[in-house]
Chains A and B, each alone.
Chain A
Amino acid sequence: MKCFPNCVFAQTQQLTSTGEWIANGFFYFLAAIAIVSALKMVTTKNVVHAALYLLVVLSCVAATYVILGAEFAAATQVLVYLGAIMVLLLFGVMLTRAKIGTETDLDYEQRWIGGLVGAGMFAVMAYSLIEYFEDTKMPSDLEPQRTQDVAGEIFSTYIVPFEVLSVLLLAALIGAVVVARKD
């Protein structure tokens, strides 16, 4: 990552395919939107706006999955996150605060400590990632991972975690009902 992709492409002998170039451009476009929306999400004064910014971030992440060839994960992201979890969060906003519009007491006063921690963590992670992976390339023939293969793998190699997950979801469902029930 020391050199921006365009100049790397110009220098390397083998020309990358147009498809990869387009995917790359799309990725940077989506990443920019996602990062700006995420920053707006953690700084906005309006709770509902924060939920809608989170929606944008999650859609961009789903599109990133498509770029990486994980189509089933992208579809699941849209169904579960954008469909279910966002509705749940908006209901949470609705049931806990009837207030419409901006609020002043959403953040702690000492915001800079949080900023310091976040920036410090990013510095450490970015340094180690750049140091270790440098300019490792993704395989140029990035094939989409077929849903049939994913299903086969889940129901053979990962069958035990899958069943455990089913029990976990059931437990979470019952637990949420029991905790939130009025009595």
Chain B
Amino acid sequence: MFLNQFLLFAAILFCIGVYGVLTRRNGVLVLMSIELILNAVNINLVAFGAFNDDLGGQIFALFTIAVAAAEVGVGLAIVLLIYRNRRSIDVSESNLLKG
């Protein structure tokens, strides 16, 4: 097995996630794409952990999973709040801060 096959797999998932974040207007779908990006990072961490025979990679992947759980909780709360105030979760309509 090559190290690169895992890294390229992660790179592909990361770029698909970036595409999703840039093109989706639905707030929940943007959050899903962010999950994809975080997973790509986790693959990298675990792959390097296995490559160096070090536990640090796996532990940092666990930390990232926990942070992702916190992120999606707060993110969905914000999306729900936007929906309640504006009856829409189209992120392109959330432009109240625009000068």
Contact = CB atoms under 8 A, between A and B. Distances in A.
Given A38-B16, A89-B28, A96-B80, A70 B61 contact: yes
A89 B34 CA distance: 12
Contact of A65 (B1, B32, B46, B59): B46
Given A80-B65, A179-B80, 20 more contacts: A1-B8, A35-B12, A35-B13, A38-B36, A41-B20, A54-B32, A70-B49, A73-B62, A85-B35, A92-B28, A108-B25, A117-B22, A125-B14, A134-B4, A136-B4, A137-B3, A145-B49, A171-B70, A179-B74, A180-B81
A41 B18 contact: no
The 3 closest A-B CB pairs, nearest first, are A172-B70, A114-B22, A42-B20
Nearest to B23: A114
Interface residues of chain B: helix, strand, loop or mixed (majority): helix
A177 B43 CA distance: 31
14 contacts: A27-B9, A28-B5, A41-B20, A41-B36, A42-B23, A76-B62, A89-B35, A96-B27, A103-B26, A115-B23, A133-B3, A136-B3, A145-B58, A173-B70
B3 A176 contact: no
Nearest to B3: A136
A34 B90 CA distance: 27
Main secondary structure of the interface of A (DSSP, over half): helix
Interface string B60-79: 01110111111111101111
Interface size class of A (residues with CB under 8 A): 35 or more
Contacts of A130: 4, 8
Contacts, number: 257
B43 to A, nearest CB: 6
Interface of B: 1-9, 11-20, 22-29, 31-33, 35-36, 39, 42-43, 46-47, 49-51, 53, 55-59, 61-63, 65-74, 76-81, 83-84, 89-90, 92
Contacts of A172: 69-71, 73-74
Nearest to A94: B28
Interface in A40-83: 41-42, 47, 50-51, 54, 57-58, 61, 64-65, 68-70, 72-73, 76-77, 80-81
B15 to A, nearest CB: 4
Nearest to B82: A96
Given A35-B16, A138-B3, A51 B32 contact: yes
A118 B11 CA distance: 10
A181 to B, nearest CB: 9
Contacts of A126: 8, 11
